[in-house]
Amino acid sequence: MAGIRAMLIGVAVAALTAVTVPAMAASRAANCPAGSVCVYSAPDGGGDRCIWNEDDGDWNDGPRCAWLADTTVRSVRNEGLTPVALHRQRDFAGTRVCVEPDTTVNVVGRFASHRWVDRC
C-alpha cells in the first residue's frame, strides 16, 4: 500500500510540474505584446521592461526607457514573426545577440540598438 501511495504522489507531482512550466512560459509571453521585442532588467522576463515593435538604431535617443541608461539588460523576449538581432552599439554595430521568435533568452550586458532580421 505504501508503494502505491508513493507512486501516486510521484505521478501527482509530475503532473503539477508539467502544468507549471507552460504557465510560466505563457506569463512571459503575455508580458510582451504580440509583434514586439521586449528587454528586461531581470532574468526570465522579470523586472523593468522596454517594448519595441520596429527597428531602433539608438536606444538612447528618446525617452523610451530611462532605466537602460544605468542598468544592464538581463533578458530578452521576441514575440515577433522573425528573429531580432540586438547590438551592443548604436546603428546596429558591435557584437550581436540574435533571438528567435517566441523565445526568451537570458543575457547580461548593455545593448544600444536592435533590428528584425531574416535569420540568426
**pLDDT for 47-78, tens place per residue?**
999 999 999 999 988 767 888 888 999 999 99
Q: How high is the pLDDT of residue 62?
A: 73
**pLDDT for 91-113, tens place per residue?**
999 999 999 999 999 999 999 99
Predicted TM-score (pTM) of this structure: 0.74
Q: How much is the average pLDDT of 24-49?
A: 84
Q: Edge-to-edge strand order for the sheet containing 93-99? A: 93-99, 84-89, 113-116
The top-level CATH class assigned to 31-116 is: mainly beta
Q: Is the pLDDT of residue 25 over 90?
A: no
pLDDT, mean over the chain: 81
Higher pLDDT, 14 or 43: 43
Grid-cell match 536606444, residue found: 59
The candidate with the shortest Cα–Cα distance to 89, out of 119, 106, 111, 69, is 111
Q: How high is the pLDDT of residue 106?
A: 98
